[in-house]
Structure 1
Amino acid sequence: MLRWRHCCTIGLLVLFAGCGETVESEDPAARADAARLDVMFSAQTRVWQDTRRAELVAPDGWLSLIGLHRIELKSHFIGSGQTAGIRLSMGPEKLGLLQSDNGAYAFTPERGVAVTLDGAPVRGRVLLQTDTSASPSVLGFDDGKDTLTIIERGGSAFVRARHEEAPTRRRFTGLEYWSTTRDWQVDAEFVPAASGATLPIANILGMVEDTPTPGSVAFERDGKRYTLQALEGGDGSLFLIFADRTSGHGSYSAGRYLDAPAPGADGRLQIDFNRAYNPPCAFTAFATCPLPPEGNRLDLAIPAGEKTYIPATTV
């Protein structure tokens, strides 16, 4: 399965009980209670937003990406020099030699270049594990500021490069959100899929992979029923990729992501569109974002959650 969550792994915060639509009442006590709930809800959402930002701008966050290079040959010299087969935008001119053989990968550092593998110094040729492994390998160099990993997508392998001083990270302009409202935390029903069911999920590179789906999530809005097909999250949670009428008109044109809690025993859950967030490809050209499946393009405007990211203007 695609590793959506290292894509973007944000923990679900526990929501207070009784969240729903704002109570409208002439009773001053009821209005006061509703106002307190709104304040609590906004505060909890703000904590989530702060966590979201912290993970995005972390040294190994999505903003640190500086390259995505397809592995096409059995041997590639890697470095920032002009003669490198895989040319990095940052780092030493000659980093080392990457070799591949039927899905197995090995790296030999250039003499005199300090390289680490998962934090330990590399003295010679080492084997590398891709992101499909339980323990993906991380090559570090440039005093630990730069890292390389190997990822697999749609039957192809790529070298992914990160650097703490990536332009996208240094020039990050911040995140913008629609106003937080409990009206966009909606009750939903989980409908399980048949055992072994999959969805064809396309990514931003044009690749399509059949991906396991646990089922779909249905909710109502203004008397109309909408359904979102779900992917597997962690610990029974659900991962939703969707587009709506705000896509390209306030929110990111390719769609947004939403983490949803595991359904209860009765199949009920709440989905909070205030926590809808942009995929990594909204911030960098070096991501491999999965896109909304056909059924997840809603004929509904959802003015909640994260808005389109506007990068800094380069001079």
Structure 2
Amino acid sequence: MQRVTFEQAWQRWRDEREAQLRSPEGFLAITGLHWLGPRPQRFPGVPGFWSTGPDGAVVDLGEGEWLELDGVPLVGRHVFGHVDPYGVIATFDGGTVEVADRFGTPVLRPRQPDGPFLRDYTGTPTYAPDPSWQISAVFTAYEKTRPISVGSVVEGRSSIIDAVGEVAFEIGGRPQRLIAFDGGDDELWLLFTDETSGVTTYAACRQLAVERPVDGRAVLDFNRAANMPCAYTIHATCPLPPASNHIDVLVEAGEKTPPRPPAD
């Protein structure tokens, strides 16, 4: 079996990442971010009147309108209930719509394959892959998860994320320490800024998935530092890293700031 080189593995990751970004069902396809309230409202490009109440998110579909959820057609009134942050996706003629919770409030995010952010996307620039940015780290797990309140790109909104421990490492002889969150799929999830933030990389933060540490050791491959959805679209609600999650050197690896043309 032919051995996969570092460059080949990185390029495979880049190809998969670009495919996700260009997906007609991905976050670049989102055409709106609508907060549901008690008064039924109709939103552009989405069937039905939407509201929320004691039973959670509700849609009232008019005559001839329909949605489909998990292969089941919906007509008339449908109660989605109290959705979680991952939400549910319903389809309709011409697109899909996500119903999810953000900061304790149900939101509606329609997606269309010809949405302006997806239509005008031209690719994400990156630093050249460099094996020296694969940094060894020591992971110290907390005795139990610690709920941490973090800010958001949505003004005045914050969220709680479970922190599972901290990673400690050095770059150029300078010690660094980042709070790590549960990334699911047996991974750690890091949110961080560094001295390139707002210069060559997205100002708010970048993210990094890290394979679950073995015997307290982990490898942080900053070549795979990726932008958050808010770097690409105004219809995102990304969390911000804790103030302590700043790397005080130039992390010249991973994704750079993408071009983001204004939406129609």
Common fold: TM-score over 0.5? yes
SS at match of 1:112: coil
Superposed counterparts of 1:217-256, under 5 Å = 217-256=167-206
Q: 1:171 to 1:115 in 2, by over 3 A?
A: same
For residue 28 of structure 2, the aligned residue among 51, 63, 69 is: 63
Could you say which residue in structure 1 is the equivalent of 2:99? Answer: 150
Deviation at 1:311, TM superposition (A): 2.8
Superposed counterparts of 1:131-146, under 5 Å = 131-132=83-84, 136-141=87-92, 143=93, 145-146=94-95
Deviation at 1:149, TM superposition (A): 2.2
Deviation at 1:243, TM superposition (A): 0.3
How far apart, in 1, do the equivalents of 2:237 and 2:208 lie? 17
Deviation at 1:150, TM superposition (A): 2.1
User: Residues 247-303 of structure 1, C-alpha deviation per residue, up to 9 Å, x if partnerless?
Assistant: 011000111010000000x20010100000110011100000111111112211100
User: Residues 146-193 of structure 1, C-alpha deviation per residue, up to 9 Å, x if partnerless?
Assistant: 222222222222211211110111111111110100000010110112
Deviation at 1:139, TM superposition (A): 2.5
Could you say which residue in structure 2 is the equivalent of 1:48? Answer: 13
Q: Which amino acid aligns with 1:61?
A: G
Q: Which amino acid aligns with 2:198?
A: G
User: Residues 61-80 of structure 1, C-alpha deviation per residue, up to 9 Å, x if partnerless?
Assistant: 111011001112x23232xx
Q: Give RMSD over aligned pairs.
A: 2.2
Is 1:211 the counterpart of 2:161 in the alignment?
A: yes
How far apart, in 2, do the equivalents of 1:133 and 1:246 lie? 30
SS at match of 1:241: strand
Deviation at 1:312, TM superposition (A): 4.4
Deviation at 1:314, TM superposition (A): 7.9
Is 1:76 the counterpart of 2:40 in the alignment?
A: yes
**Unaligned residue ranges in structure 2 (runs of 5+):** none
How far apart, in 1, do the equivalents of 2:80 and 2:127 lie? 43
Larger Cα Rg: Structure 1 or Structure 2? 1
Deviation at 1:118, TM superposition (A): 2.9
Equivalent residues of 1:129, 1:150 under 8 A apart: no
Q: Which amino acid aligns with 2:88?
A: S
How far apart, in 2, do the equivalents of 1:165 and 1:111 lie? 26
Deviation at 1:209, TM superposition (A): 2.2
Superposed counterparts of 1:24-39, under 5 Å = none
Q: 1:130 to 1:286 in 2, by over 3 A?
A: farther
User: Residues 110-161 of structure 1, C-alpha deviation per residue, up to 9 Å, x if partnerless?
Assistant: 2112322233222322121455178x432322x2x32222222222222112
Q: Which amino acid aligns with 1:49?
A: R
How far apart, in 2, do the equivalents of 1:133 and 1:299 lie? 32
Between 190-199 and 57-66, report the one with greater CA deviation: 190-199
Deviation at 1:233, TM superposition (A): 1.0
Q: Which amino acid aligns with 1:148?
A: V
How far apart, in 2, do the equivalents of 1:104 and 1:311 lie? 34
Equivalent residues of 1:71, 1:159 under 8 A apart: yes
Q: Which amino acid aligns with 2:252?
A: P
Deviation at 1:103, TM superposition (A): 5.1
Deviation at 1:224, TM superposition (A): 1.6
How many correspondences in the alignment? 262
How far apart, in 1, do the equivalents of 2:262 and 2:89 lie? 32
**Unaligned residue ranges in structure 1 (runs of 5+):** 1-36, 79-86
Q: What TM-score do you get using the length of structure 2 for normalisation?
A: 0.92
Q: 1:185 to 1:64 in 2, by over 3 A?
A: same
For residue 180 of structure 1, the aligned residue among 118, 129, 133 is: 129
Q: 1:196 to 1:234 in 2, by over 3 A?
A: closer
How far apart, in 2, do the equivalents of 1:60 and 1:299 lie? 36
Q: Which amino acid aligns with 2:161?
A: T
SS at match of 2:143: coil
Is 1:101 the counterpart of 2:65 in the alignment?
A: no
Equivalent residues of 1:173, 1:312 under 8 A apart: no
Deviation at 1:313, TM superposition (A): 7.2
Aligned-pair identity in percent equals 33
How far apart, in 2, do the equivalents of 1:163 and 1:314 lie? 13
Equivalent residues of 2:196, 2:250 under 8 A apart: yes
Q: 1:133 to 1:308 in 2, by over 3 A?
A: closer
